[in-house]
């Protein structure tokens, strides 16, 4: 029987090790592709406010990936009626397919119930929402860091016994010398806050989020939106799947609450109170 000498053993081991790393180092191109779902459900996103403007409703297809852009639904018939017998027809924006804009500007009235009616591919989608009155927003407070930059300290309580609300805070420091860079997306930001009538464990133990900082003198536009019970349920389900997701006490994932018959998304009527301050 032939014997393997010590040098030959080292040679064999070296060859085995080299072959192992060659196999591990092979890179194969793989085209990642998700098949478009065959679900024909459409997604409706719309809000009516008491602001005098042309109101907007988006109609899109169900997406196969969370961060995809809207897949527009074109050619739908969109109309809104109110409990005071007012009717509003919407026209599709030819430059932004899937975006339907009211034919004329109109103001939503607190106390009215608004009924959405959309017809597409022989299917009718309906929804209704009551426009609740809104109370004035609380005063925003700011915190100042050691570097002189500012951040939001307080907007509103996250838990309220009644009158739930949604807040948007728009920050704009493009007019401040030294910060007005060419790209406007680095000089503006929008933050969202919510006051809901109950507290979830996933909310209390939600993962931390990055703090948005901005210079003194930043223009801050706060909008407070009244929300009815159904819209609150939608927002809670949305937060559970997004902002509150990833903490120690995640809830089971599921579909978002909706008030759209035969579809997904949400249609809301909200009264808005606006306040403008400068951070200092």
Considering the domain architecture, whether residues 51 and 110 belong to the same structural domain is answered as yes
Last residue of a domain, one of 130, 164, 183: 130
Residue 15 lies inside a defined structural domain of this protein: no
CB atoms within 10 A of CB 122: 5
Give the per-residue pLDDT at 110.
96
pLDDT tens readout for residues 122-145: 999 999 999 999 999 989 999 998
Count of domains observed in the chain: 2
Greatest extent of the chain over all pairs of C-alpha atoms, in Å: 103
Considering the domain architecture, whether residues 235 and 159 belong to the same structural domain is answered as yes
- Of the chain, the end-to-end C-alpha distance in Å amounts to 90
Q: Which residue has the higher pLDDT, 256 or 78?
A: 78
Has residue 180 got a pLDDT over 80? no
- How much is the mean pLDDT over the chain? 85
Considering the domain architecture, whether residues 118 and 175 belong to the same structural domain is answered as no
- pLDDT tier for residue 72 given thresholds of 50, 70 and 90: very high
> 142 in helix, strand or coil?
strand
The CA–CA distances, whole Å, from 60 to 98, 102, 188, 220, 255 equal 6, 17, 27, 32, 17
Has residue 224 got a pLDDT over 80? yes
pLDDT tens readout for residues 98-119: 999 999 999 999 999 999 999 9
Considering the domain architecture, whether residues 252 and 180 belong to the same structural domain is answered as yes
Last residue of a domain, one of 85, 109, 130: 130
Last residue of a domain, one of 130, 154, 187: 130
- Radius of gyration in angstroms for the set of CA atoms belonging to the chain, rounded to a whole number: 27
β pairing state of 42-49 and 264-270: parallel
Give the per-residue pLDDT at 130.
96
As a whole number of angstroms, the distance between CA 140 and CA 273 comes to 14
The CA–CA distances, whole Å, from 222 to 137, 170, 176, 191 equal 8, 6, 19, 10
As a whole number of angstroms, the distance between CA 274 and CA 137 comes to 8
**Interval 194-204 mean pLDDT:** 82
Domain that holds residue 243: 141-257+271-278
Considering the domain architecture, whether residues 152 and 111 belong to the same structural domain is answered as no
Write the DSSP assignment of 149-187 as a string of letters. -EEEEES--SB-SS--EEEEEEEE-TTSTTT--S-GGGS
Q: Provide the H-helix boundaries in the chain.
A: 6-24, 201-204, 229-241
- pLDDT tier for residue 250 given thresholds of 50, 70 and 90: low
Strand order from edge to edge, sheet including 272-278: 188-195, 165-172, 219-226, 272-278
CATH number at residue 83: 2.60.40
């Amino acid at each position: 029987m032939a014997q393997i000498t010590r040098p030959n053993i080292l040679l064999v081991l070296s060859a085995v090790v080299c072959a192992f790393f060659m196999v591990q180092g092979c890179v194969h191109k793989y085209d990642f592709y998700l098949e478009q779902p065959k679900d024909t459900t459409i997604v409706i996103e719309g809000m009516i406010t008491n602001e005098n403007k042309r109101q907007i409703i988006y109609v899109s297809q169900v997406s196969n990936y969370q961060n995809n852009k809207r897949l527009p639904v074109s050619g739908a018939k969109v109309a809104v009626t109110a409990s005071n017998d007012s009717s509003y027809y919407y026209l599709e924006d030819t430059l932004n397919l899937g975006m339907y804009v009211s034919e004329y500007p109109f103001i939503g009235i607190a106390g009215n119930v608004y009924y959405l009616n959309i017809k597409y591919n022989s299917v009718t989608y309906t929804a209704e929402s009551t426009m609740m009155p809104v109370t004035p927003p609380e005063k925003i407070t700011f915190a100042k860091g050691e570097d002189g930059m500012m951040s939001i300290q307080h907007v509103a309580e996250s838990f309220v016994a009644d009158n739930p609300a949604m807040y948007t805070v728009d920050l704009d420091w493009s007019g401040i010398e030294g910060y007005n860079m060419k790209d406007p997306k680095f000089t503006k930001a929008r933050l969202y806050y919510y006051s809901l009538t109950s507290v979830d464990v996933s909310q209390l133990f939600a993962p931390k989020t990055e703090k948005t900082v901005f210079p003194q003198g930043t223009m801050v536009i706060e909008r407070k939106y009244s929300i009815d019970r159904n819209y609150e349920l939608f927002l809670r389900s949305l937060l559970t799947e997004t902002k509150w997701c990833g903490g120690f006490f995640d809830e089971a994932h599921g579909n978002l609450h909706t008030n759209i018959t035969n579809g997904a998304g949400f249609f809301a009527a909200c009264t808005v109170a606006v306040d403008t301050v400068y951070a200092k």
